[in-house]
């Protein structure tokens, strides 16, 4: 089955879990896109919710679709956040940030009663680390920050735009994509080492945050992992 259809199925199923009165966190990415489209539809039919967003992109999609939005600066707790992932293992540890929104996504997930993860089956892995690990870094002194990351034994590349300029996150920062030589035995240790480098704002490792997970399988089945 077509991957886009798998993403759409997972996104639309997650929308069924949204209830009247909820404050909903919007993740970012092509899978979340389908979730937001379904939410727009449900809101037009009378669903009464408010959303906060992890990116300008998701915010604009929701706002254009007429979903009431709230400013995250006025919020301390979100009822449910729906987000995608670049990789997820059987302990629900994830790599996120392929879409560049990792820092805001982690703030939303961490402020939510539940983070629901929606993926197609290509994202499910035995061990994390095949895909790049995005690390959001402060532009100030970025060369020194990268040097420190490299001294720790990590190698990677600055994320760039199609025009060859540094990619800038919604927070005005850069992303350094770490390319691992081997699959990760202990991603928690990797995270701990990276997060202590001054200038590193966040890594794309997400631990102990995912609740229910919806996996669109190529057989057409939608697999659900419970909280």
Give the active site residues: 105
Question: Is residue 159 within 8 Å of 167, Cβ to Cβ?
Answer: yes
Query: Could you tell me the two tokens for 168?
Result: 């800038």
160 is in an annotated binding site: no
- Could you say which of 100, 129, 187, 199 contacts ligand 5RP (CB under 6 A)? 100
Q: Which is nearer to ligand 5RP, 190 or 202 (CB)?
A: 202
86 is in an annotated binding site: yes
- Could you say which of 12, 87, 89, 105 contacts ligand 5RP (CB under 6 A)? 105
Q: Compute the least distance from the CB of residue 138 to ligand 5RP, in Å.
A: 18
Angle between helices 56-64 and 30-44 (to 10 degrees): 30
Of residues 221, 212, 35, the one with CA closest to residue 113 = 212
Which helix (H) or strand (E) element contains residue 5?
helix 3-15
Question: Is residue 174 within 8 Å of 136, Cβ to Cβ?
Answer: yes
For CA atoms 69, 72, 77, 79, give the dihedral sign.
Answer: positive
Question: Is residue 53 within 8 Å of 126, Cβ to Cβ?
Answer: no
**3-state SS class at 199:** coil
Q: Which is nearer to ligand 5RP, 122 or 148 (CB)?
A: 122
Q: Which is nearer to ligand 5RP, 146 or 210 (CB)?
A: 210
What is the C-alpha separation between 102 and 95, in angstroms, rounded? 9
List the alpha helices (DSSP H) in 19-161: 30-44, 56-64, 102-110, 142-151
Query: Using CB atoms within 10 A of its CB, is residue 186 exposed (0-12), middle (13-18) or buried (19+)?
Result: exposed
Site for ligand 5RP in 6-35 (CB under 6 A): 27-31
Q: Which is nearer to ligand 5RP, 86 or 190 (CB)?
A: 86
Q: Which is nearer to ligand 5RP, 84 or 199 (CB)?
A: 84
Q: Is 99 in the site for ligand 5RP (CB under 6 A)?
A: yes
Q: Compute the least distance from the CB of residue 160 to ligand 5RP, in Å.
A: 16
Binding flags for ligand 5RP, 48-87, as an x/- string (CB under 6 A) = -----------------------------------xxxx-
Annotated binding site: 28-31, 83-86, 96-99, 123
The residue ranges that bind ligand 5RP (CB under 6 A) are 27-31, 83-86, 96-102, 105
Bind-site residues for substrate: 28-31, 83-86, 96-99, 123
């Amino acid at each position: 089955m077509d991957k886009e259809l798998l993403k759409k199925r997972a996104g639309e199923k997650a929308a069924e879990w949204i209830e009247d009165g909820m404050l909903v966190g919007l993740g970012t990415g092509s899978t979340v896109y389908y979730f937001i489209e379904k939410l727009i539809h449900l809101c037009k039919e009378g669903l009464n919710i408010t959303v906060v967003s992890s990116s300008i992109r998701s915010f604009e999609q929701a706002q254009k679709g007429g979903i009431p939005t709230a400013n995250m600066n006025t919020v301390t707790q979100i009822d449910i956040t729906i987000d995608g992932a670049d990789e997820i293992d059987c302990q629900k540890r994830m790599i996120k940030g392929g879409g560049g929104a990792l820092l805001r996504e982690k703030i939303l997930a961490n402020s939510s009663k539940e983070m629901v993860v929606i993926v197609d089956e290509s994202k499910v892995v035995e061990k994390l680390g095949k895909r790049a690990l995005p690390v959001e870094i402060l532009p100030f002194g970025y060369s020194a920050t990268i040097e420190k990351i490299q001294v720790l034994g990590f190698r990677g590349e600055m994320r760039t735009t199609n025009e060859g300029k540094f990619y800038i996150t919604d927070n005005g920062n850069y992303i350094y994509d770490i390319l691992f030589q081997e699959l990760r035995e202990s991603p928690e240790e990797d995270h701990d080492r990276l997060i202590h480098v001054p200038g590193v704002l966040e890594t794309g490792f997400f631990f102990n945050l995912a609740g229910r997970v919806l996996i669109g399988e190529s057989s057409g089945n939608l697999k659900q992992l419970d909280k």
